[in-house]
Amino acid sequence: MPHEAIALIAEGLTEGRLAPFLGPEVLTIGAPASVPTSTRALVERLTAKVAVPGRIRNNLWSAAQYIESNRHRQTLARLMEEIFAPEQDINLLHQTLAMLRLPLIVDSWYDSTMAQALTASGQDWGQVQAVTRNGEYEDIWYRYYDSEGRRSTEAEATGWQTLLYKPHGGMKPEGNFLLSDSDYVEVLTEIDIQTPIPAPVKDRRASLGFVFLGCRFHDQMERTFARQVLKRSAGPHYAVLPGEMTRNEARFLDEQGIQRLDLPLAGAALLIARDVAGAQLA
């Protein structure tokens, strides 16, 4: 059954009917990552630099808010830039996705590895990243960047072959980070009516299903963003989710109609790459 689903995923990706939704664990495929690959690992890195009260040490967004409030936003941004400065190796999954000319790729972590893979592939692509409204005087939720990292426009983004969407921001090109509680206050207030979701993402998802790779749904924040990106998409949806699930994860998959594949992520990536190569040769 999982291998039959892998074949359907590879076919859907090859034909541009499915969009990848990448989480931080994608960075665990291949060589060891030099940046955090989970929210828990990231909060541990931050609180190793700045002490926070014990009651929030394991909560990324609350710990980030404490650092922002007590040590200034610039301190939080500098720490994130230091943590995510090392470039990661482009792995097999990044390479496979980059060569497919996909209409949409969602990347929910702060690293820039998927962007590097798209650049290396020579494809026509650009990205849209969420931005914090902290210190902004304009009504802004996100910014567009072309493949060279230059600021771009929504009109130009509609013409890109592949759109990379970073719903929590990204390290490059300008260090946009949605991270602290205050970053998310207005976003979560508006997200149910979809205001923070860029129009080209809404347009492209209407004909797509999603494949979750390297994502977990332990936390309400992670589930909320996934739910809102999936809204009004065509389906079907899949998630490579190995091991024991929490009750919240199981409930989320059930309510969203997501088919689970209980396979190791690296193994699933290898199978997807194999089947994609086969589909392209057929």
What's the confidence (pLDDT) of residue 96?
Answer: 97
Residues whose CB falls within 8 Å of the CB of residue 89, separated by 6 or more in sequence, listed in order: 30, 31, 113
d(CA 257, CA 16): 20
Residue with tokens 């998409």: 233
271 phi and psi angles, rounded to 5 deg: -65, -40
- Listed residue (43, 93, 63, 17) closest to 181, CA to CA: 63
What's the confidence (pLDDT) of residue 226?
Answer: 95
Per residue of the chain (282 residues), give pLDDT as tens: 677 999 999 999 999 999 999 999 999 999 889 999 999 999 999 999 999 999 999 999 999 999 999 999 999 999 999 999 998 999 999 999 999 999 999 999 999 999 999 999 999 999 999 999 776 666 789 999 999 999 999 999 999 999 999 999 999 999 999 999 999 988 888 888 899 999 999 999 999 999 999 999 988 889 999 999 999 999 999 999 999 999 999 999 999 999 999 999 999 999 999 999 887 766
What's the confidence (pLDDT) of residue 136?
Answer: 61
What's the confidence (pLDDT) of residue 282?
Answer: 60
The 10s digit of each residue's pLDDT in 110-158 is 999 999 999 999 999 999 999 997 766 667 899 999 999 999 999 999 9
What's the confidence (pLDDT) of residue 151?
Answer: 97
Long-range contacts of 132-136 (CB under 8 A, 24+ apart): 132/169, 132/176, 132/177, 132/178, 132/179, 132/183, 133/183, 133/186, 134/68, 134/73, 134/180, 134/182, 134/183, 135/73
Domains of the chain: 2-35+84-281 (3.40.50.1220), 41-83 (no CATH)
What's the confidence (pLDDT) of residue 234?
Answer: 96
What's the confidence (pLDDT) of residue 5?
Answer: 93
